Amino acid sequence: MHTGGYDIGVVPGDGIGPELVGSAQEVLTAAAGDGVEVRFHVEDAGADTYRRTGTACSDETFDRLRSYDGILKGPVGLPGVRRPDGTEGGLLGGLLRGGLDTYVNERPISLLPGVDGPLRGERRIDHVIVRENTEGLYLARGLGVGNERAVVDQLLMTREGVERVVRYAFELARRRPGAPADGVHRVTCVDKANVLRSFAFFRRIFDEIAEEYPDVQTDHRYADAAGHDLVVDPEHFDVLVMENFLGDILSDVAAATVGGLGMCPGGNIGDAHAYFEPIHGSAPAIAGRDLANPVSQILAAAMLADHLGERPVGDRIRAAVRTGFARGDIVILPSGSPKDGTDAVTRAVIGALES
Ligand code: IPM
Ligand code: MG
């Protein structure tokens, strides 16, 4: 146990963010119990901040975020809050992912018992998408050049950037139980090496690093085929590693197979800093109406606990969420909203923690 406790930066975010983050804070506090002290420090960042102050995150806020033991972040973004070039104002991905050098975006995709996914039959879905988080196409965030007739955004890959994210994927595969279909520890490299030189480079480096991990099976998929197989044969996958933009798209595809974006947390993880958030947006249309599914944010808090070295706390949260679904206390409607509302999910998870 970490006797000094933890200082956690909290970015409630926009839209449904504050209610989700409130739910996750309550669950984390309850799961940590008396043994682990968690102190929350609320910080102002996101689209509403951009609208009020002209910047999504001030330098002072960023410096404080850097200083915490970990960060719990809600979704950000509001319709109509746009930069002059038409892209969203108030997004924090470029700023925090690049600024904190969180080069891994770890997105676990798990079908929980009792959750009605859209795929037919008894499915066992449990894999992790490892999305490169600091380069690739999204390095061009806010930097594209163009005029009224043409615009270009560039995709960049560096050897160091690819090596470190691929290594992370192999290390993760070593710790996991393997693919649901066959128990094989497997890392799938997802790319378009057949079309673009940058992806051929990604694959070549992947194959080099793979040689350091003879105990983990290596596997390749072109990104389009990966999208197909994530839907048709998700049991095959254990860990998948890919470029930033591909990971953004395919993690939403994979999320659909396990009951939707509201079920899926993500960790932005680097060697010195990490922050945890849902993989979805801020859904302003349903904000403040007790309609949002807080599971993604609660599971993000579990990942934060793991990251702090408090794995038992993370395990308790995940077990409580599973119990809530298995008991039928948590039911997500086809609309994506919990049957009895956001707060009822929080109560169900806390109730399951205590049982
Ligand atoms: C995600 C989100 C962000 C991204 C958006 C909101 C900028 O879609 O984390 O997947 O593209 O990275
Ligand atoms: Mg996304």
Question: Do residue 28 and residue 75 come from a single domain?
Answer: yes
Atom 3 of ligand 1, residue of closest alpha carbon: 93
Last residue of a domain, one of 257, 280, 310: 257
Question: Do residue 127 and residue 237 come from a single domain?
Answer: yes
Task: For the chain, give the percent of residues with pLDDT over 70.
Answer: 99
Question: Do residue 179 and residue 235 come from a single domain?
Answer: yes
Task: Tell me how many domains the chain contains.
Answer: 2
pLDDT of residue 88: 87
Question: Do residue 142 and residue 218 come from a single domain?
Answer: yes
Residues with catalytic function: 138, 192, 224, 248, 252
Residue 316 lies in a domain: yes
pLDDT tens column, 166-214: 999 999 999 999 999 999 999 999 999 999 999 999 999 999 999 999 9
The length of the chain, given as a count of residues: 355
* Separation of CA 53 and ligand 2 centre (Å): 25
pLDDT above 50 for 1: no
Question: Do residue 89 and residue 99 come from a single domain?
Answer: yes
The CATH number linked to 81 is 3.40.718.10
Pocket of ligand 1 (CB under 6 A): 77, 91, 93, 248, 279, 281
* Separation of CA 344 and ligand 2 centre (Å): 27
CA 296, CA 287: separation in Å to the nearest integer?
16
pLDDT tens column, 339-355: 999 999 999 999 999 87
CA 18, CA 225: separation in Å to the nearest integer?
37
Question: Do residue 263 and residue 344 come from a single domain?
Answer: yes
pLDDT tens column, 231-272: 999 999 999 999 999 999 999 999 999 999 999 999 999 999
What amino acid occupies position 78? L
CA 302, CA 17: separation in Å to the nearest integer?
17
Instruction: Give DSSP secondary structure letters for 173-205.
Output: HHHS---TTT---EEEEEE-TTT-HHHHHHHHH
Question: Do residue 30 and residue 135 come from a single domain?
Answer: no
Ligand 1 atom index nearest CA of 244: 12
Residue 207 lies in a domain: yes
Residue 127 is part of which domain span?
A: 118-257
pLDDT above 80 for 3: no
Question: Do residue 153 and residue 200 come from a single domain?
Answer: yes
Q: Provide the angle, in degrees to the nearest 10, between the axes of the packed helices 342-354 and 311-326.
A: 110
Question: Do residue 206 and residue 302 come from a single domain?
Answer: no
Q: Provide the angle, in degrees to the nearest 10, between the axes of the packed helices 197-210 and 159-175.
A: 50
How much is the pTM? 0.96
